[in-house]
Amino acid sequence: MATPADEVKTHTFRKYKDGDHEVTRWGEQIFDGDRTHKCPTYVHQTPPCQGSCPSGEDIRGWLNIVRGIEKPADGMNWQEYAFRRSTQANPFPSVMGRVCPAPCQDGCNRNQVEDFVGINAVEQFIGDSALDAGLTFTAGADTGKKVAIIGGGPCGLSAAYQLRLKGHACTIFDDHEDLGGMMMYGIPGYRTPRDVLHGEMNRIINMGVETKLKTRVGEDITLKQLEKDFDAILFAIGAQSGRDLPVDNFSEASNCLSGVAFLAAFNEGRLKGVAGKVVVIGGGDTSIDVASVARRIGKITDVHENERPEHIILGQTAHDVAGVANREGAEVTLLSRHPVSNMTAAQHEINDASREGVEIINSIDPVAVIMGDNGRAKALRVRKLKWEGKNMTPIEDSEYDIDADLIVSAIGQTGNLKGMEAFGNDRGLIDADKNFQVPNKPGFFVAGDIVQPHLLTTVIGQASVAVESIDDYLKNEEAGKRPKVDVHHFDLLDKLRETHHEPAHFDPEGDIKVRGIDRGQHGTAEADFAIHNYEDRSAHQIISADKLFLGHFAHETRQVRTEDVPSSDEVLGHFEERMNALSEEDTVTEAKRCMSCGMCFECDNCIIYCPQDAVFKVKKEESTMGRYVATDYSKCIGCHICADVCPTGYIQMGLGE
């Protein structure tokens, strides 16, 4: 859950590779092409950014809106239009623009030119602009169906949003005082500002979502009662129970706790300081957050027994503000079994933690908790590890003890299924099929971390799929097979409808009418009931960089968000947001770096380089996104130059095969 690192990558694209010794002249290429039978067709494919996004956002779509290529619907500015496109898949653009580790950027084809597009920076701008403008969501027409959602975290809230769009009523049951789940209780406020988080959550609740807070299903209300009152039930309870460190004495020592419990105590306002040295074991985002929070809240000297951190974290008491007024900088050490380069936390977050004064020791393995006479841990015994590729071996005679007053395990999470044990598996989670139905339990669905702990963006995407399955169930329809590329796709037909260019009704009257022979037309080329020479493969294919004309793209430096990361001397009491959003101008500039992989972005290359003038612009009054150019096949000689110079891979020489 991080922003991208700020390193500048070198230009990597080469038009000619090692071993290329001959250059074919354009004239010869045209001559060879003249003998082919193929003509261009326009093929819509999924870009790798979207294919890498667990939420399935139409990233290319809203980037093209921000840059001005795809025009807004009637009476809407581009900021709102981009927001509407983004939130078809994910109702939390402000939050995710700040904390998502952005696998979309890892998959970005622009990495083959110089550096990825700053997708999450643009997403943050879209989300913040929508909050500033007070944009809202509108529920669909009421269907009379009711769904119970157990859990009000990112998965449950996303499911409520998608259900209300479809017109289904829903009630969220959550055992906390506030909604948000791990977004609220697991991520510190300096990473997800609470006004932003509440703004995006309230927008969903205001769609007509009923909430039952401080209500635990299985205790305050039974599952059997929910079955009576609702037409379907979705488990979205997350995984908010931390895993103990699997070493001797961890479970017995009172000052050995989970990272999830530590962060919850901090985010609830109860934990305001630590005591002595804090040792965190992990290597992922949660461990980084624990270590960074510990550095910020500092340590309390001369702490009373009932104010020790473990008592606060376990909910037995709470810190008094006056009692922590004289806190000092805490000594915090983070241990990882993996080398720093292989830690699961984003490198950016690791760098920030180091700057803030967290000591990171890598390639280290906990062996045992060393107990003191008072029943508390006094040290953690560890041993050094040697890595050879993916294989790890302990180094003999390398054990040593690290003094600790608080030991925090952040090595994984599991669910709390108290009162719902019948649905659990042997891992403390709930099984799901490919459509996120609970196997052999009709009417029960499950999504999110309770299936398998993962990223926030992952649980949001799962919620969307689960809601489609719930919708099928409520309609008494079979859940269909999910597409190979399971994301929220751009739909050209929807775009044509939006721009009042919907094709005419097709009423077949036999083969002659279809071919248009009786009207002297060239097949369907001049018909108004067909989308001519267009093929949608987006549900089946992700377009790779080798299908693009990378030579079109000049080196353009990424617009990088600045951050106010405190130094080790400044970190104590530093709870302000670190992330500085891009300006509107820089946001548009960054969006223009998008290569629009798999979709035309109106560069005119195909028109300029066609030697036969066969490729032409669609008339302005008929043009839409994805229908910018067409081909006159009476002029086309099959030279494939248009496909060669298409930067996005949108043109392919397939027609006629």
- Token pair in block for residue 221: 């209300």
Intrachain domains 146-240+415-474 and 248-412 with the same fold: yes
4: pLDDT strictly greater than 80: no
As a whole number of angstroms, the distance between CA 166 and CA 161 comes to 9
Q: Please tell me the predicted confidence (pLDDT) of residue 519.
A: 47
5: pLDDT strictly greater than 60: no
As a whole number of angstroms, the distance between CA 273 and CA 293 comes to 9
Beta strands 331-336 and 277-282, pairing class: parallel
pLDDT in tens, 141-178: 999 999 999 999 999 999 999 999 999 999 999 999 99
Q: How many helices (H) and strands (E) does the chain have?
A: 21, 21
What are the boundaries of each domain within the chain? 26-56+489-655, 146-240+415-474, 248-412
Q: Which helix (H) or strand (E) holds 609?
A: helix 605-609
pTM of the full predicted structure?
0.90
pLDDT in tens, 25-54: 655 554 454 556 778 899 999 999 999 999
Sign of CA dihedral 339, 345, 351, 357: negative
As a whole number of angstroms, the distance between CA 195 and CA 192 comes to 9
Q: Please tell me the predicted confidence (pLDDT) of residue 14.
A: 63
> Which of these, 112, 8, 115, 51, lies nearest to 550 by C-alpha position?
112
Q: Please tell me the predicted confidence (pLDDT) of residue 574.
A: 93
Name the pLDDT band for 369 (thresholds 50, 70, 90).
very high
Query: What class does CATH assign to 146-240+415-474?
Result: alpha beta
**R_g over Cα of the chain:** 28
Looking from the CA of 58 toward its CB, the CA atoms found within 13 Å total: 24
- Token pair in block for residue 519: 């009207």
Which amino acid makes up residue 550? L
460: pLDDT strictly greater than 80: yes
Region of 312 please: left (phi>0), alpha (psi -120 to 50) or beta. alpha
- Token pair in block for residue 468: 């489609």
Average pLDDT over residues 265-272: 92
pLDDT in tens, 408-435: 999 999 999 999 999 999 999 999 999 9
pLDDT in tens, 323-358: 555 678 899 999 999 999 899 998 889 999 999 999
As a whole number of angstroms, the distance between CA 159 and CA 618 comes to 40
- Kindly give the residue spans of alpha helices, DSSP state H, lying in 19-58: 26-33, 48-51
As a whole number of angstroms, the distance between CA 599 and CA 491 comes to 12
> Which of these, 220, 139, 206, lies nearest to 174 by C-alpha position?
220
Q: Please tell me the predicted confidence (pLDDT) of residue 238.
A: 95
Least confident of 145-159, 204-218, 500-514: 500-514
Q: Which helix (H) or strand (E) holds 156?
A: helix 154-165
Q: Please tell me the predicted confidence (pLDDT) of residue 529.
A: 65
Cβ atoms 237, 428 nearer than 8 A: no
Number of Cβ within 10 Å of residue 506's Cβ equals 12
Alpha carbon distance, N-terminus to C-terminus of the chain = 46
Which amino acid makes up residue 116? F
The residue ranking higher by pLDDT, 8 or 198, is: 198
Look at the domain 248-412 and name its fold.
FAD/NAD(P)-binding domain (3.50.50)
Average pLDDT of every residue of the chain: 89
